[in-house]
Amino acid sequence: MKTDDVVYNLLNEISVQFPEVKVLMSIYNEDETTFKMEAFSKATTHAVTLGNIKQAQRYLNYMAQKLLNADAKVIEYIDVYYVETLFWGVSSHTIAVGWPLVPVNLQTLYVNFHGNQALN
């Protein structure tokens, strides 16, 4: 399977699993895969901001599960285009509510990039 295929498959699976996110991802062209993944990250952060904790937890758990046996390209997409943009530009309250929801494997990616937990 080509590297691009694994990314397209992941994005398609996200669209099927979470139709509400498909709408957000559909504003981008098919080849704008990084923007589509960032849209999923923003949807996660937005769910926390709105207090929709169950939905945010579903998104986070899904990504944490995908990370477990992921191809290198999928790991890159989860790390760079999903995890690194979580909680970008939101209030300290949203971060305080959202950070404990983030599974440990995703927290590790976040800390490896940002140098500290979102709460700091």
What pLDDT digit, counting tens, does each position of 64-97 carry? 999 999 999 999 999 999 999 999 999 999 999 9
Rounded average pLDDT over 9-21 = 96
pLDDT at 113: 83
pLDDT at 18: 97
Rg (Cα) of the chain, in Å, rounded?
13
- Residue 120: pLDDT above 90? no
**CB contact at 8 A, 117 and 107:** yes
Rounded average pLDDT over 17-45 = 95
- Residue 3: pLDDT above 80? no
Alpha helices in the chain (DSSP H): 3-17, 19-25, 33-49, 53-68, 72-76, 92-98, 104-114
Q: List the structure tokens of 17.
A: 């699993």
Q: Which of 32, 28, 45, 36 is nearest to 106 (CA)?
A: 45
- Across the chain, mean pLDDT equals 93
pTM to 2 decimal places: 0.92
